[in-house]
Structure 1
Amino acid sequence: MTEESKAAALLFAEPGARWRAVAYGPVLCAIVLVVELVTGSSVHWFALIFCAALIAGFVALQVIAGQRHVSVALTGEALREGTETLPLTSIAEVLPERDEDSWDDEDWESARALGELSGVPRKRTGIGLRLADGGLVQAWARDHRTLRTELTGAVRRIRDTDSENGADR
């Protein structure tokens, strides 16, 4: 495996939204259609087809938005959170998890969340990152423990590679 393909290999990914959600509305309308056919009541063809198409259309828009703004991808070179990509070389440290027994908030909990959203998306958990310039930001994911583990390892590998290359000079 070449160095470029190692760096481009996906270490962690969350899609943000799945296309199977688009089928839920039409499936529900099909169930209502079957019930109407079985019970012998009048079948509302137009209403069921219209509702199925309308629901599928709205959910498709939500899936596209979810995949664009709430997806996460970590490679050997960068962390992408929604629409923002952060090179791993700009991350100095992955901060420890919040102490659940502590009454005080960690400094990183009030830091800016990566991506273009105003905060950590719903049903996601923030991960504190100290940047090379000293600033703090929050990465986030549903499976935050796996992202934290993979991100810590990737940042450590980048740091070790940089120190080896710096020692050779």
Structure 2
Amino acid sequence: MLFAEPGARWRAVAYGPLLCLVILLLELVTGSPVHWFALLFCAALIAGFVALQVIAGQRHVSVELTESALRSGTELLPLTEIAEVLPARADVEYEEEWESARALGELSGVPRRRTGIGLRLRDGSVVQAWAKDHRGLRAALTAALPAEENGADR
């Protein structure tokens, strides 16, 4: 594994129940009526919804780069299909051609809180890879491709 982002972490499922536990402890300490059913129901409901979000996040916004392929969400792109990692946006005022290209994965665009990275494929088309740590993914992609394919000879 050259680069990995999980998309979502299972520890997020515990946040809602932990908050309910804090409320339960506050009710016990202050001597106010304890709302057992409501707190258990809310803890289970929050944990259930967050578990669904974690599953979706791990499936649709995770990124893995191996020595042979880049996986963005559910789309697998063999590294042999990548001709070049395009340079990052140089000018704030002008959009690069790759910024309007199709994003890898099945989502309609680059997921929120992720940054796109332009890739030129061997067939001449341009796509966007994406990651939270876009600098790390760009460096790993550049290192994974042979130097002549990274535009180093240009």
| Selected match of 1:96 from 87, 91, 105 | 87
**What is the aligned partner in structure 2 of residue 75 from structure 1?**
66
Matched with 1:60 is 51
Matched residues in 2 for 1:89 and 1:158: separation? 13
Give the CA RMSD over aligned residues. Answer: 1.2
Partner in structure 2 of residue 147 of structure 1: 137
Shift of 1:128: 0.1
- Indicate which of 8, 18, 22 corresponds to 1:31: 22
Q: Deviations over 1:48-105 (max 9, x none)?
A: 0000000000000000000000000000000000000000000000000001x34211
- Name the amino acid aligned to 1:123: R
Q: What is the CA–CA distance in structure 2 between the aligned matches of 1:145 and 1:79, rounded to whole Å?
A: 15
**Per the alignment, in what secondary structure is the counterpart of residue 152 of structure 1?**
helix
- Pair 26,103 (structure 1): closer, same or farther in 2 beyond 3 Å: same
Cα separation, 2, equivalents of 1:53 and 1:28:
12
Structure 1 segments unaligned to the other structure (5+ residues): 1-9, 160-169
Q: Which amino acid aligns with 1:136?
A: V
In proportion to residue count, which structure has more helix? Answer: 1
Q: Give the share of equivalent positions with the same residue, in percent.
A: 76
User: How many residues of Structure 1 are paired with residues of Structure 2 in the alignment?
Assistant: 149
Higher mean displacement: 102-111 or 46-55: 102-111
| Unaligned stretches of 5+ residues in structure 2 | 150-154
Give the structure-2-normalised TM-score.
0.94
**TM-score (normalizing by structure 1):** 0.86
Distance in 1 separating the partners of 2:40 and 2:136: 42
Q: Does 1:45 align with 2:36?
A: yes
Task: Give the distance between the partners of 2:59 and 2:75, measured in 1 at CA.
Answer: 10
Distance, in Å, in 1 between the alignment partners of 2:32 and 2:144 is 61
Provide the rounded CA distance (Å) in 1 between the counterparts of 2:94 and 2:21: 52
Deviation, 1:136, is 0.3
